[in-house]
Structure 1
Amino acid sequence: MIVDDTSITPTLSGICAGFESGEWRAQQFARRLFKDIIDFALSHSERQEFDSETGMEMIGRAVRKIYTSEKYTSRGEFGELLLHVVLREVFRTQVAVSKIYFKDASNDTVKGFDAVHIVEQGDALELWLGEVKFYNELTRAIRDVRQELHDHLDADYLRHEFMAIEGKVDKTWKHAPTLQRMLHEDVSLDEIFDNITIPVLLTYDSRAVDDRVTQLRSNPNESPSVTAQQYRAAFEAEVRKGWDKFVASGLPPRVRIRLILVPLHFKAALIKALHERLMSWQQATA
C-alpha cells in the first residue's frame, strides 16, 4: 500500500502490485489473489473441513464456483475476489457471508453488496459491506459506484439485504448469533448505521503505472531508489486526484466510506492472467 490517509473523509488507500524486471506484476498479482480462493468461495463450515485429504476436491469446488464460461472479459467475480483479498489482508476483516458460495449456477451473477465482512470491535461487530468496480476507466467506475451506493443504502433495499444476510450466515460461525441480532428487523436502521463501513474499491488503467513501466523499460540501469521515489510521488498525486473526483460525485450522507483505489497497468492483462489461472485450476481439479 503506497497511500494510507485516514485523516480525510472518506479515508483513502492506494494499492499497487509492484514491478519486476521492468514490468508491472500482473502474473504475480493473479497468483496472490488465488491464494485466498477457498476463503472467498466456500462457506465457513466447508472451510473448516479443508485438510490434506479434502484439499484438491474443495479447491475444485471453489474455482468452479467463480465461473466456467469462456466469456470472461466483462464478468465481475475477479473484482469481488480482489476486494475480498484487500479487505482480509489490509484491513484484517473476517468473511461473514461468501456471496459466491450462494450462486445457483457457476455462471450466474449474485446481486447485492460485493462483500459482506465484519471487523471485531471489542464485544461488538462492525459490518463491512463492500462495493467494487473492476474497470479500466476511473470516471466510469466512480459514476457507476455512486449510483449503486445511493441505491444500496436505500432503507427498503438495506432491510431486504439484511434479511438475505441473516439467512445466509453459517450457524457454525462463532459470530453468527451476534450478527443476526444486529441485523434483526426490530433493530433500528439508525443503530445499525453506526456500525457499518462501506469499503469502495475501484480499479482503472493508470497513467502513473504506465509511465513507470515505460521508465523501467527504457532506463534499466537507472537508480531504483530514485525512480521508485518519483513513482510513489506520481502514484500518490494520481490517487488523490481520484479521491477528489469521487468526493465531488456526490456521496450518500451518514455512511462511513473507505475509498480504495487500485491503479492497474492494463486491466485486460490482469483479467487474462486471472482467467488463465482459473481455467488451469479447473482443469487440474476436474
Structure 2
Amino acid sequence: MSKVKFEIFLDDSLSKVTSVAQLKIAFNKRLLSFVNDFEDGKWCYQDFQNYIWDNITQTALSERERLSLTDQGFTALYEAAKNLRLTDKDKVGEGSEIAEIFLYGLMRQHFKALPVVPKIFYKQNSQDNAKGADSVHIVVDGSDFTLWFGEAKFYNSIADARLDKIVTSVYEVLSTEKLKKENSIITNVRDLDHLQIDAALKEKIKAALEPHHSIDRLKPKIHVPILLIHECKITAAAKDLTPEYRKEIIDFHRNRAETYFLKQLAKSGAVHKYSDITFHAILVPVPNKAEIVTAFTKQAKQLKSG
C-alpha cells in the first residue's frame, strides 16, 4: 500500500463545519480535504506521481488481470498503461485519468472500498461502458454493503463556473437510467465474483442490483464521492505545512464545498429521494496542474511504447 505523505485537513459532516443556514440540516453531505506534504521547501511532486502509479492497476486492469500479475509489478504497470487514453476533448478535462486513478486509490485506502468496475479498463475496451460514473466501488460493513459511484475532476481552478459543471455531471450519474446501467455493468463484468467477501453477501449484492428492482430501494445505500484535484495559488506559494497554510486551505475548502453543495441543493429536485444519498466532497490542492499532467503523460507514453 502506498506510503504517500498526504495529510487530512478536514474530514467531517459538512453540517458541522458550515456557516450556511441551508446546510445545517444537510447531514448527507461530507467534506474531506487531503493535502500533500512538502520537503526542502518544495511540494512533493514525486510523491504525488508515485501515488498515481501505485494505484493505477485498480482502475486500468480487470480483477482477473490484477490477480494474474500479483508478483509482476512492472508488467502490471505496462499492461495498465496500455489502457490509458492520455487524450481529452479539451484542455479543461486534461488529466482526467489522473483524477480517476487518485480516486480509486483514495477509495481503497481511506474508505476501505472494493473496486467492482475498473473504469479506465472498461472505458478503453467498451465505449458503451465509458458513460456514467468515474469510479464504482462497494464498501462492505459486516453483512451489509453500500454502493459508491464517484466523480473525479482535475481542474485549473474550482471557481463557480467549474462547480456548476460538476453539479450537472453528478446528476447525470444519478439518473435512474445511468444507475441501472452501472448496476448491470457490476453484475456483468464478473469482477465481483473475484472479491474476497462472503459468498452470501455476494449473492445479496447481486440480488439488490437486479434490473427489475426499484432504484429507490438502493438510494440509502448510495454514496457519491466527488473528487476535485485543483490547481491552488495558496499551495503554489507555500513551502511547508504551516499553521497559516493549514488555516488558509481549510477556509478555502470550506467555502468551495459550501458553494458547491448549495448549487447542488438548488437542483436537487432532479433526483428522487435526494436526501437518502450521501455525498462526499473531496478536495486536493496542487501547485501546478500542467507539471503533473506533463510528467504523468511522459511516463505513461514511455510505458505504452515498451
Q: How big is the shift at 1:179?
A: 2.8
Give me the TM-score of the superposition, normalised by structure 1.
0.85
> Residues of 1 paired with 2:90 and 2:38: CA distance?
25
Tell me the amino acid that sits aligned with residue 145 of structure 2. Answer: L
Deviating more after overlay: 95-104 vs 130-139: 95-104
Q: How big is the shift at 1:104?
A: 4.3
Partner residue in 2 for 1:103: 123
| 8 A Cα contact 2:53 2:77, kept in partner | no
SS of 2:130's equivalent?
A: coil
Q: Is residue 142 of structure 1 aligned with residue 163 of structure 2?
A: yes
Change (3 A) 1:202 1:55: closer
Q: Is residue 63 of structure 1 aligned with residue 81 of structure 2?
A: yes
Q: How big is the shift at 1:142?
A: 1.4
SS of 1:134's equivalent?
A: strand
| 8 A Cα contact 1:72 1:275, kept in partner | no
Change (3 A) 1:181 1:269: same
| 8 A Cα contact 2:232 2:287, kept in partner | yes
Partner residue in 2 for 1:24: 43
1:194-252 Cα offsets, whole Å, 9 max, x none, are 1110001112221321231xxx3xxxxxxx6xx61111111111111111111221333
Partner residue in 2 for 1:211: 237
Bigger relative contact order (CA 8 A; separation at least 6): 1
SS of 2:83's equivalent?
A: helix
| 8 A Cα contact 1:67 1:107, kept in partner | no
Partner residue in 2 for 1:158: 179
Q: How big is the shift at 1:106?
A: 10
Change (3 A) 1:61 1:147: same
Change (3 A) 1:51 1:128: closer
> Residues of 2 paired with 1:68 and 1:146: CA distance?
25
> Residues of 1 paired with 2:243 and 2:283: CA distance?
19
SS of 1:118's equivalent?
A: strand
Aligned 1:1-286 pairs, distance under 5 A? 1-6=8-13, 8=15, 9=27, 10-52=29-71, 54-67=72-85, 74-104=94-124, 110-139=130-159, 140-170=161-191, 171-174=193-196, 176-212=202-238, 216=239, 228-251=242-265, 252=268, 253-254=274-275, 255-283=277-305, 286=306
| 8 A Cα contact 2:58 2:101, kept in partner | no
> Residues of 1 paired with 2:222 and 2:66: CA distance?
26
Tell me the amino acid that sits aligned with residue 252 of structure 2. Answer: E
SS of 1:194's equivalent?
A: helix
Change (3 A) 1:7 1:138: closer
Q: How big is the shift at 1:75?
A: 4.9
Equivalenced residues, count:
271
| 8 A Cα contact 1:6 1:12, kept in partner | yes
SS of 1:35's equivalent?
A: helix
Q: How big is the shift at 1:83?
A: 1.2
Tell me the amino acid that sits aligned with residue 235 of structure 1. Answer: I
Identity, in percent, stands at 25
Give me the TM-score of the superposition, normalised by structure 2.
0.80
| 8 A Cα contact 1:132 1:145, kept in partner | no
> Residues of 1 paired with 2:31 and 2:194: CA distance?
35
Q: RMSD between aligned alpha carbons?
A: 2.6
Q: How big is the shift at 1:149?
A: 1.6
Change (3 A) 1:101 1:165: same
Tell me the amino acid that sits aligned with residue 230 of structure 1. Answer: E
> Residues of 1 paired with 2:290 and 2:90: CA distance?
11
Partner residue in 2 for 1:221: none
Tell me the amino acid that sits aligned with residue 117 of structure 2. Answer: V
Q: How big is the shift at 1:107?
A: 10
| 8 A Cα contact 2:234 2:249, kept in partner | yes
| 8 A Cα contact 2:83 2:124, kept in partner | no
Change (3 A) 1:69 1:234: closer
> Residues of 2 paired with 1:68 and 1:238: CA distance?
30
Structure 1 gaps of 5+ residues are 217-223
Tell me the amino acid that sits aligned with residue 122 of structure 2. Answer: F
